[in-house]
Amino acid sequence: MSGMKVGAVIITMGNRPDELRALLDSVAKQDGDPVEVVVVGNGSPVPDVPEGVRTIELPENLGIPGGRNVGIEAFGPAGRDVDILLFLDDDGLLAGHDTAELCRKAFEADPKLGIISFRIADPDTGVTQRRHVPRLRAADPMRSSRVTTFLGGANAVRTRVFADVGGLPDEFFYAHEETDLAWRALDAGWMIDYRSDMVLYHPTTAPSRHAVYHRMVARNRVWLARRNLPALIVPVYLGVWLLLTLLRRPSGSALRAWFGGFREGWTTPCGPRRPMKWRTVWRLTRLGRPPVI
């Protein structure tokens, strides 16, 4: 059994106490050494949790990346008190008892592996939505592979990644914060795996259920490019996404929100710009997702 220490960060708005309790129970049942858990109330009180689970209640909602960053720092600077951190949605449920142990084995076997993206499956049907497979060739969700991004509420990160490249981008609040971290990690030489055998049960939902979805997606897409891409690629990447958005024929109100966010992405600060190396562009291309789509 690996000696790597595992922690877990769960952020909550306090409105799913039963689901949160079920998730915490599934984490407590993991094989191997116990997983230390921190639950962050993101601008809300934390519901009752089992003894031994640490809680942090933030006075305001810092968004998904901000809340998760607080959880990371609860394990010491850049999470250094543990070797691996699991990030789990509060309405999810670990399907197996061996997920933490599989993570330990994967990270121990591959020193360059920085992030693992779990497979998300509907608890009733077992179906994995295409959008939950973090690659372009997503037809077979049961195929594990190297990938270029990961799923925010169902993943494991080697904490040395945070020490190397920093945490999630607080400014994003919601949408694309995982890809921002993934690109920085890949640029620093880390690898990302999608593992179909590590499963988080999660009810099937549409991301557009969030009122701010279209604006945030557009704004953060621009920020993502401005922060991370070589200047020559920025207009190509954003042009492709503009075309894809129009081809999907969103409603008039959704399109207005999207263009408002797109404009906001150009006119507001996006945080520090650190363009990736051209060899990282080539690496992303070889992994099947060049940074133009």
Residue 227 is part of which domain span?
Answer: 211-287
Question: What pLDDT is stored for residue 210 in this prediction?
Answer: 52
Query: Do 159 and 223 belong to one domain?
Result: no
pLDDT digits (tens, 9 = 90+) for 31-69: 999 999 999 999 999 999 999 999 999 999 999 999 999
Number of domains in the chain: 2
Question: What pLDDT is stored for residue 204 in this prediction?
Answer: 86
- Contact criterion met (CB below 8 Å) for 76 and 9: no
pTM of the model: 0.96
Question: What pLDDT is stored for residue 2 in this prediction?
Answer: 60
Query: Do 241 and 137 belong to one domain?
Result: no
Domain edge (last residue) among 150, 167, 201: 201
Structure tokens at 186: 């890949």
Is the pLDDT confidence value at 1 over 70?
no
Question: What pLDDT is stored for residue 208 in this prediction?
Answer: 57
pLDDT digits (tens, 9 = 90+) for 149-199: 999 999 999 999 999 999 999 999 999 999 999 999 999 999 999 999 999
Question: What pLDDT is stored for residue 293 in this prediction?
Answer: 87
For position 197, which CATH number holds? 3.90.550.10
Query: Do 162 and 188 belong to one domain?
Result: yes
| Rounded (5°) CA angle 237-266-62 | 100
Q: Is 1 inside a domain boundary?
A: no
For 256, residues 6+ apart whose C-beta sits below 8 A from its C-beta are: none
C-alpha to C-alpha distances, 283 to 113, 186, 192, 290, nearest whole angstrom: 15, 8, 12, 8
Q: Is 292 inside a domain boundary?
A: no
Average pLDDT over residues 112-123: 98
- Contact criterion met (CB below 8 Å) for 194 and 144: yes
Query: Do 160 and 270 belong to one domain?
Result: no
Average pLDDT over residues 267-275: 97
Q: Which residue has the higher pLDDT, 77 or 137?
A: 77
pLDDT digits (tens, 9 = 90+) for 240-251: 999 999 999 999
Domain edge (last residue) among 166, 201, 236: 201
Query: Do 79 and 158 belong to one domain?
Result: yes
Q: What is the average pLDDT score of the chain?
A: 96
- How far is 195 from 197, CA to CA, in rounded Å? 5
Q: Which residue has the higher pLDDT, 204 or 48?
A: 48
Is the pLDDT confidence value at 290 over 90?
yes
Query: Do 52 and 91 belong to one domain?
Result: yes
Question: What pLDDT is stored for residue 98 in this prediction?
Answer: 98
Query: Do 61 and 135 belong to one domain?
Result: yes
Q: Is 252 inside a domain boundary?
A: yes
Question: What pLDDT is stored for residue 172 in this prediction?
Answer: 98
- How far is 96 from 62, CA to CA, in rounded Å? 31
Is the pLDDT confidence value at 133 over 80?
yes
Query: Do 60 and 152 belong to one domain?
Result: yes
Domain edge (last residue) among 148, 169, 201: 201
Is the pLDDT confidence value at 209 over 90?
no
Average pLDDT over residues 260-284: 97
Name which of 181, 283, 166 is nearest 228 in CA terms. 181
Question: What pLDDT is stored for residue 211 in this prediction?
Answer: 58
- Beta strands at 145-147 and 191-201: parallel, antiparallel or unpaired: antiparallel
Neighbours of 32 (CB within 10 A): 18
Query: Do 37 and 101 belong to one domain?
Result: yes
Name which of 75, 287, 92 is nearest 192 in CA terms. 287
Query: Do 196 and 220 belong to one domain?
Result: no
Q: Is 145 inside a domain boundary?
A: yes
| Secondary structure tally for the chain: helices H, strands E | 9, 9
pLDDT digits (tens, 9 = 90+) for 85-113: 999 999 999 999 999 999 999 999 999 99
Query: Do 182 and 220 belong to one domain?
Result: no
Query: Do 179 and 247 belong to one domain?
Result: no
**CA atoms lying within 13 Å on the CB side of residue 129:** 14
